[in-house]
Amino acid sequence: MALCKSCGKEHRLIAEYPGYCKECIVKKFNRIKENIKKLHEETRKYFNLPLNIPKEKSGKICSQCVNDCRIKNKGYCGLIRIENGKIKRFEEATYLDFYLDPLPTNCVSSWVCAAEGHGYPEYSYTPGPEYGYKNLAVFFRNCTFNCLYCQNWHFKEEPKTIYSVKSLVDAIDEKTSCICYFGGDPTPSINFALKVSEEIFRKLNRIFRICWETNGSASRAYVKRMFEFSLESGGILKIDFKAVTPSLHYALCGVSNKNTLENIEYGAEFLNKRKKIPILVLSTLLVPGYIDEEEIKRMARFISKISRKIPWSLLAFYPTFYMKDLPRTSLYHAQRALEIAKEYGIENVKIGNIHLLSNDYTI
């Protein structure tokens, strides 16, 4: 529970970070943006990350994501940097963790995924869940956003281990049927992930799905290739649709959602290219007090105007990182979000992380 630094209201659904109620973030954003920016800077100091998106006039232009960093030293993601006067993009090796995860997993997209038997026999080994098979889970240790409620924030901590393209490809055995790039986010290491994917296509002549979980911030040329790999292999590109209102997204994530919104629209163009398994899936964390009924309506309206066929997973929020003073998502909140999605005609929507829901009656 915190006081809104703008209107002075105290409520259990106002978090100390970003320090403002949702209403003030939306209606008074120009007045409070600088203070929100400083709060985000504060959260990045501890992890020795660049405090702001580098915009040095004489810096090298990255253009890998929405942030469009002009780098003299290091990009906002903390990974891309200048070495010997050139941008180092970590194409051959990068910082990550990986492990083999028995299928079926708790993947956000699992209810429409080939690992559950959808797309058999073209994209799946079994007509039901792929018991006995494995997913190669690749967790990248950098991100283009600065989400105050990050559910995997430990990726920011040291030590970090660097792995090569070969080390990942060599980890694939005959019972590995898919790879999923997540994190953090794949975007800072996208050149590496694409090289791994190319090597998988070159080396394997069998069913092997390539999936992504991303904030959608990558530049269009990269997103196009991500979709193409998933389309051909039977995989899915899942985008974290955090908020549609730009000011709210900035308050929660520290950067613009411009690319995310545009890439959702772009991804919908691929839906008709493969019927059995949806290539695009969206997920939204139902953050109490911020991703409220009004914002869910705006998000549902945005999705429905693009395509009502896009699957949407509504996820329960767990209080952690800098927003640990909020409560968990309530059952009422999740059910109301589900109702709103259906009211807007979205055809395939579900509530995820049900075990985290509370019996509160707040939204």
What pLDDT does residue 68 have?
Answer: 97
Per-residue confidence at 270, pLDDT binned at 50, 70, 90? very high
What pLDDT does residue 1 have?
Answer: 76
What pLDDT does residue 296 have?
Answer: 98
**Are 282 and 319 within 8 A, CB to CB?**
no
Report the mean per-residue pLDDT for the chain: 96
The pTM of this model reads 0.97
Q: What is the mean pLDDT of residues 71-92?
A: 96
What pLDDT does residue 360 have?
Answer: 80
What pLDDT does residue 275 have?
Answer: 86
Q: Can you tell me the distance from the alpha carbon of 264 to that of 343, in angstroms, rounded to the nearest whole number? A: 20
Q: Can you tell me the distance from the alpha carbon of 145 to that of 136, in angstroms, rounded to the nearest whole number? A: 24
295 burial type by CB count under 10 A (0-12 exposed, 13-18 middle, 19+ buried): buried
pLDDT tens column, 278-322? 999 999 999 999 999 999 999 999 999 999 999 999 999 999 999
pLDDT tens column, 129-167? 999 999 999 999 999 999 999 999 999 999 999 999 999
9 token code pair: 């209201």
Whether the pLDDT of residue 91 is over 70: the answer is yes
Q: Can you tell me the distance from the alpha carbon of 362 to that of 17, in angstroms, rounded to the nearest whole number? A: 20
Per-residue confidence at 276, pLDDT binned at 50, 70, 90? confident
pLDDT tens column, 203-230? 999 999 999 999 999 999 999 999 999 9
Domains (ranges, CATH) in the chain? Answer: 94-356 (3.20.20.70)
User: Which one, of 235, 234, 232, 252, lies nearest residue 243 by Cα?
Assistant: 252
What pLDDT does residue 363 have?
Answer: 66
Contacts of 7 (CB under 8 A, 6+ apart): 21, 23, 24
What pLDDT does residue 106 have?
Answer: 86
Per-residue confidence at 362, pLDDT binned at 50, 70, 90? low
> Any idea of the CA torsion for 197, 119, 242, 185, to the nearest 10 degrees?
-20
pLDDT tens column, 236-267? 999 999 999 999 999 999 999 999 999 999 99
